[in-house]
Structure 1
Amino acid sequence: MKKSKNKISRRDVLKGAAHAGLAAALLPLSGFSNADQQRSGLIVAENKKPGTTDWQLTFIKSEQFRSKQIEGYCSKTSVRSGESLDIFLNAASQTDISIDIYRMGYYGGKGGRFVKKLGPFPVSPQIVPPIAENRLRQCEWESATSFKIPQDWLSGVYLGKLSCSTHRYESYIIFIVRDDRKADVMFQTSDNTWQAYNKWPDTFSLYDSDPPQQSLSGRTWVSYNRPYAKYPQVVDQPLSQGSGEFLLWEYSLCFWLEQQGYDVTYCSNIDTHTDPSGLDRVKCFLSVGHDEYWTLQMFENVKKAVDRGLNAAFLSGNALMWVIDLKPEVDVDTANLDPASGLSKAGVGRLPLKPDASGALYRTLQRIGRFGGFSEAEKKLGIMGPFAKDDWPNENTLIGARTVYPFNGSADWIVTKPDHWIFEGTGMRKGDRIPGLVGWEHHGDPAKIPGLEVVAEGTTTNGAEQKSHYTATVYPGPKGNWVFNAATIYWSFGLAVPPGIITPNSHFGRPHGADERVQKITANFLKRCGI
């Protein structure tokens, strides 16, 4: 590889970033496309508007992961401009709640822009829903307000910060504004996984059960009709109160993409399920962070789009491990509930309601299988099974690799194919490491796809000192398109560490934060996608 006369050394980059106070947004290496061209468009114009760090919660009180003092949720995961969104609020005592809404992005390094204040609204304590069949906790609260999304709101992830007049505590609601325009990049939030791990009101995630332990075999359902509890593992992040996992693993990528001026549009997992044609309006699809729970329809939609020429990057780990069924909200049989226990006297609830014409009311999630079937190690250990089927399509035929047992662990991200185009301009050599970038879950077992190359690999170690193996891969699609698998949940931390972000320390390993090599690799892939 010939050296550029204008090549900037890693030492120069780090020194310059430190002097400028920009450790969370490092200058790129030479050849970085965004440094060589002036981007324009909606995202660039949006991020020239004044930003603020006031989007962050200051006073948070969690009780068994729940914010009992002040909490809420939205009627839809994603919504278009011009459509209405119902917002449901709850407080421990009668109060007036206000909602300050922020769009998340770069905004001069502030990370968010204030867009609207709603309320204050009078709010009384609302009923914690009884336990329905399949341990389902689905709120049926009175709406505090119905809010029409303004026509000029750009697609993005929006946080509503809740505050009230009777105490200082705060929490979030979260929703995605989507659009139907053509764009370069589609950022998909991993909201199915947010709900799978959501314990609200205390022990009602897909990973909780009653003795004898039986819900892990698929008998637990979870509902989008409830607030997000504080995230319960790996990292103690107070800002996850009401915001799902967005501020844990996804926000750093959002911040970086908008900082660089990429033409990005946003969607939810639900949109990928219901709107396959929407994938044809972008050049590249991004799976981000902890994207563990997909429907078969999501898999088919993205797989067929890749076959048609869509580029895809799985900047994620543990993605597409579990097959889920998305159902509309359930018509809970409250007439037959035992008031003492909250359980159905008949032992059953009524069937889910039918979705509306737009398919927007998919509000209940059930785990039904394992993508690719169970490995021999998983079968031997009885990992969260058995399920009715284990012959689902293997996720590595889309991602390039898959979740392997042990699922979790930490490691350095180690280059094995430095001559690959994805490393162009990084100066990386075989065996070079990006410290702590792999965690806490990862992908291995590369698929036998023609042209697939393993560009980085190594051994992970978890808290029990069990070893596993990760493989980062790149393979060509049939139409000159490409699919990149970064093989780690932590990839976004190598791009930026914006305000409010707390990097995890899991399995005795931790990422170091923004790294110009991770930025360059990501930019190289997007450039190869024609972006």
Structure 2
Amino acid sequence: MTASRRTLLSAVLILLFAISPLTARPSAALAATTSPETPSIALLPAAGSASPAATDNPIVTENQQPGSNGWLLGSPIGDDTANQMKGYWSAVSAKAGETITLYATTNPAQSFTLDIYRMGWYQGLGGRLRLHTSLTGISQTPCTPDATTGMIACSWTGTYSLTIPSDWLSGVYLGLLTNAGGYRNNTIFLVRDDRPAAFLYQQSINTDQAYNNYPSDGTTGKSLYTFNSYGANTISGQTRAVKVSFDRPYKEVGFDQVDEIEFIRWIERMGYDVTYQTDIETHANPASLRNHKAVLSVGHDEYWSKEMRDAFESARDAGVNLAFLAADTSEVQVRYEPSAGGVANRVIVCYKDAAIDPVQGPTTTVQWRVPPVNRPEQLMTGVTIAGMSTSGNYPFVATNTSPHWIYANTGLKDGDSVPGIVGYEMDKVDSAFPMPASQSHTILSQSPFTDANGSSGVSNSHIYLAPSGAWVWASGTIAWSRGLDGFWYGRADARIQQMTANLFNAFLNGPPLDNLFVTVPTTVVAGQPFTIDVTAADSLGNPIAQYGGTLHFTSSDTGTKTVLPADSKLTKGLGSFSVTLSTAGSQTLTVADAAAAKSTTVPITVTAGSAGGLALSTTTPNPTVGTSFSFTVTAQDANGNVDPTYAGTVHFTSSDPSAVLPPNSTLTNGQGSFSATLNKAGSQTIVATDTATAAITGTLALNVRGTAASLDVVVPATAKAGTAFSVAVTAKNSDGTTATGYNGTVHFTSSDTSTGVVLPPDSPLTNGQGTFSATLAKAGTQTLTAADSNNALSTTVTVAISAASATKLVLASSASPVAGTSFGFSVTAQDQFGNTDLAYAGTVHFTSSDTATGVVLPADTMLSNGQATLAATLIKSGAQTITGRDNVTATITGTLGVTVRAANATRLVLSSGATPTAGATFSFSVTAQDQFGNTDTGYTGTVHFTSSDTSAGVVLPADSTLTNGQRTLSATLIKAGAQTITGRDTVTATITGTLGVTVRAAAAASLTLDAPAGAKAGQSFTVSVTLKDQYGNVATGYRGTVHFATSDPLPTAVVPGDYTFTAADAGTHTFTQGVTLWTIPSQTVSATDTVNASLTQFKWVNVSLL
């Protein structure tokens, strides 16, 4: 790091570290269940992307547990000078079943509590309490720096050992230490589970420790920075250390990484499956990164070991996606060393100057981009540190928004900005350093800023697609997480949330499918297989390595010999397939992903193969004996395509030895038209054969017709509907004899076109004769026609069709019945075709859905000629049915549906669900009903209201009309107890109804104290207290407490103690012999409500001597 950078960094960090972020909130947001600074998230998945969260992943399940915001520090804070409350753990992380030790100090020695919270969403409260325990604290020895390296490592006595429970899910855990004096401080560790979750979050503890100058007392503390290091110079030539140890507390509050907390809240709120580890696990087990779809570096992740860098780049090259939601990532290289006790990776080594680092080569602890390391971080992240700012955050300014998939559903366009996202450290794509190898890369923002020196700069968000198919994204700002959650800064923005969701969905499922690129040959030969290549591409044309869609192949060529690939998947977004088309001409091939609603169609020209046969066809398949007809000959390949290059000579033969055939002929462009005459009736053939290649041949089959003068059709005179009958057809010569040579086709039609009609199919005759079966359905006289349109022959006959046996009853009525009034309806017995069964002799029994008293249905009835007209009376208004059923055959049934109207109203029904309070308005309903209890929706009368309560203040409805026979009104009664409201039609007084209610007293408005006018000194007497509402009703619901007092100054005076009224008092209580007065001549006794002082009264009592 250069001197100018050190100076700038010092200015920035002095400003930042003046704040203790977790000690207080700028608003009381977390007092509620969810934070008002965090807007409701309703993200739209990018096209083709699945939902980010699985309902059964451990993160979703964990965050359904009750949350707590008790992890927020509040105050006072144990500082690094007095060390009122500080601590650290023996390891930065642990797995379930492993034990870590807390080393804590209190000043002075005193008890303290340890509360351990897992950080997450938890209904917006941000944490879940997993452990609470009380411990005994001691004052530990001070931690002093090494004179050479400046390293400060504490040698404290262990305070508490924690074995990680099996149900503690991987995550960031905060240990809140609170001593007996109320001083508080944080400790941090991670729980690992090493499961192959989709996302791996790396906690940047190296950077936390690099800036840690514990004890931050302005005298002895040291970090890897001069700006906050004190005391003697070290081997660095400055006050800064070249080694820092994890065996010491973190400075000040103990953990102040708000950006990381906002990210953790968001990712767990969204339900992504994420697991956690620290820099040290990445260093010690680099292969672990390959177990995940994406690895996340969040916030301030500046200090990296070579093993960490190698692990990230190796994972990327193996197809693992990387996201740097950070800035200044991997700027400085570090090494690890064991602690003095031999615990591996407890010391960070960073000289920051090759001249004083004893290790030279690829692990020298300098900036990655400088000699002798020479590995610019831009080769991994795609960006380089651009600057720092002390003046707050700048807007994120979008660019290249179209067509990039990361901006899908954000609404952002080039030049649009999102406030407060860029800072306090910013990255850019720096032309001074090489870019990583990539299939493509895109700058996604151009965000201007002014750094702490007043210089202008531009921050870039950037993404590239590695050759392995892994996506690598860098936010270009350390404050990206502030756009995800409003926990601290209140800057949550739906557009930043959507961009991040689009990115993470691409990590899980690949970017949204934008196009299917299909490559095919321009020209192919019918019947010969060829290869097509398919690429699933994103909006930038990159193959989508994670694409998991299913491709379906179709073609305009639907020939039976066309061969298309089966539904298939691609490998890393690419695939090659074999296709065979069979139909010559311009064809298309379509590749589609129906789930993603994407398809691509490409044109292909298909040429015919060499002729393999001859196809003969004619428009006259039934020529007449002795009559010339035309036919065509086509040279075809194996797939039926015309071979326009065919040059052979065709010879013709026939099964009819007397046939007149064409001479040997050639074809033109593979086709030719010819004529022939056949003289023998019946089935005949014409065969065409290549004179040189006998295998090139083809046959035309014909049915040569003789002649006939008429068709004779015979059917029975009568038939039953639905029952088949015989139809005999004979072809006759003009002399009446049977035309045995007739080979025409007979077509049948009927005047009966009902459903259920079955006619013979088009049929030939045998030796001029044929017998067929027909079924008609409609009763009455019907016709049947047999015709041969080719020979102008047609004959029509009649059949008398009678109904089949009844299968149903049909009930019908044109009436709109009124309750209690008789109406007519008809009953008809019908067969399955709807014909009336005139012979039906059954007896019909009637039932109804209306079972009210007064319903009148017909008696069991026999029909006449299958029909009857009857009458019924129904009572209940609304939709009702009458069903008729044959007494013997229950399946012969039918139902009439009617809507019954109410009769004229005869009464009013008043009702209310309320228990009214004196002086309070309540609602009640009024319904006009006929004598059967039906609502008379046509009631037009006016209702007048009266009440048994004639008190002043009673409010009744004005005279009112009803709507559709009903209305809801309101009233106010005054007098407590049983009361009535009566409604009465203003014209017809018999149309009336009464509502009975019990009115409750209102709230107590006055207190009455009853006491005797006189009493003897020293003798007890009785008093009573009554509470009344403002209307003079006893306030039976009063539950207040009454306090008694007296003016009698003597201590021997007695009044009742405070008394709370109960339901049994019903507003009045008597205090028998409850008062004793001693002082003559007159004293007061008072009773007063302890809450409402206006409820009070006092009485004078004349006290006399015994």
Same fold (TM over 0.5): yes
Name the SS for the 2:385 alignment partner. Answer: coil
- Asked whether the equivalents of residues 289 and 489 of structure 1 are also in contact (C-alpha less than 8 Å), the reply is yes
Aligned residue type for 1:42? P
Amino acid aligned to 1:286: L
Distance 1:293 1:435 in 2: 28
**What residue is the counterpart of 1:101 in the other structure?**
116
Partner SS, residue 525 of structure 1? helix
Aligned 8 A contact 2:50 2:505 in 1: no
Shifted more, 201-210 versus 211-220: the winner is 211-220
AA in 2 matched with 1:222: V
Is contact 1:457–1:470 with CA below 8 Å preserved after alignment?
yes
CA distance in 2, matches of 1:466, 1:495: 29
Shift of 1:74: 0.3
Query: Structure 2: which amino acid aligns with 1:318?
Result: D
Task: Specify the alignment match of 1:207 in structure 2.
Answer: 225
SS of match in other structure, 1:442: strand
Distance 1:427 1:387 in 2: 37
1:134 aligns with 2:149: yes
Aligned to 1:439: 423
Question: Partner of 1:465 in structure 2?
Answer: 454
Displacement after TM superposition at 1:121 (Å): 2.1
CA contact (8 A) 2:151 2:243 kept: yes
Instruction: Identify which of 300, 303, 313 aligns with 2:323.
Output: 313
* Residues 49-128 of structure 1 mapped to structure 2, 5 A cutoff: 49-61=65-77, 63=79, 68-118=83-133, 120-128=134-142
SS in 2 for 1:493: helix
Q: Which residue of structure 2 lines up, in the alignment, with residue 188 of structure 1?
A: 202
2:398 maps to which residue? 415
- TM-aligned CA deviation for residue 276 of structure 1: 0.9
Aligned with residue 224 of structure 1, among 239, 242, 246: 246
Whichever residue aligns with residue 350 of structure 2, its letter is: R
CA apart distance, 1:60:
2.8
Closer/same/farther in 2, CA of residues 126 and 48 from structure 1, 3 Å limit: same
* Structure 2 partner of 1:424: 408
Gaps of 5+ in 1: 1-19, 231-240, 332-352, 356-360, 372-383, 504-511
Indicate whether 1:265 and 2:247 are aligned: no
Picking from 349, 353, 370, the partner of 1:366 is: 349
Change in CA separation of 1:216 and 1:250 when aligned onto 2, cut-off 3 Å? farther
Tell me if structure 1 keeps the 8 A contact 2:45–2:501.
no
- Structure 2 residue identity aligned to 1:242: G
The 5 A counterparts of 1:440-455 are: 440-446=424-430, 447-449=434-436, 450=438, 451-455=440-444
* Structure 2 partner of 1:523: 501
CA distance in 2, matches of 1:390, 1:469: 29
Q: 1:174 aligns with which of 161, 164, 188?
A: 188
Which residue of 1 is the match for residue 764 of structure 2?
A: none
Scaled by the length of structure 1, the TM-score of the pair is: 0.79
Corresponding residue number in structure 2 for 1:235: none
Q: Which has the higher contact order (CA 8 A, sep 6+)?
A: 1
Larger strand proportion, structure 1 or 2?
2
Alignment deviations for residues 350-384 of structure 1 (CA, whole Å, 9 cap, x no partner):
xxx4x5xxxxx31111224599xxxxxxxxxxxx9
- Of all paired residues, the percent bearing the same amino acid is 31
Residue 394 of structure 1: CA displacement? 1.1
Contact 1:86 1:143 in 2 (8 A): yes
Question: Which stretch of structure 1 is more off in the superposition, 488-497 or 20-29?
Answer: 20-29
Say which of 275, 281, 298 aligns to 2:285: 275
Alpha-carbon distance in 2 for matches of 1:458, 1:274: 37
Please state how far the C-alpha of 1:460 moved relative to its aligned partner.
1.9
Of 242, 248, 271, the match for 2:254: 242
Question: Tell me, what secondary structure is at the counterpart of 2:400?
Answer: coil
Task: Report the RMSD for the aligned CA atoms in angstroms.
Answer: 2.6
The separation in 2 between residues aligned to 1:479 and 1:456, in whole angstroms, is: 25
* Counterpart amino acid of residue 456 in structure 2: K
Q: In 2, are the aligned partners of 1:40 and 1:261 still within 8 Å (CA)?
A: no
How high is the TM-score relative to the length of structure 2? 0.39
* Contact 1:206-1:215 within 8 A present in 2 as well: no
Match of residue 403, structure 1, among 385, 388, 393: 385
- 1:513 matched residue in structure 2: 491
**Contact kept in structure 2, 1:291 and 1:316, CA below 8 Å:** yes
Corresponding residue number in structure 1 for 2:483: 494
Q: Which residue of 1 aligns with 2:935?
A: none
Tell me the number of residue pairs that the alignment of Structure 1 and Structure 2 aligns: 447
How big is the shift at 1:136? 1.0
Match of 1:6 in 2: none
| Cα offsets for 1:290-322 (capped at 9, x unmatched) | 111111110011101100010010000111111
Deviations 1:24-47 (A, max 9, x none): 143234336687976331111100
The Cα offsets for residues 166-205 of structure 1, whole Å up to 9 and x where unpaired, read as: x011111110001111101111111111111111012311
Determine the structure 2 residue equivalent to 1:3. Answer: none
Please point out which of 146, 153, 172 is paired with 1:157: 172
| Partner residue, 2:302 | 292
Structure showing greater radius of gyration is 2
- The one of 392, 395, 420 equivalent to 2:374 is 392
Q: Give the Cα separation in 1 of the matches to 2:370 and 2:429.
A: 24
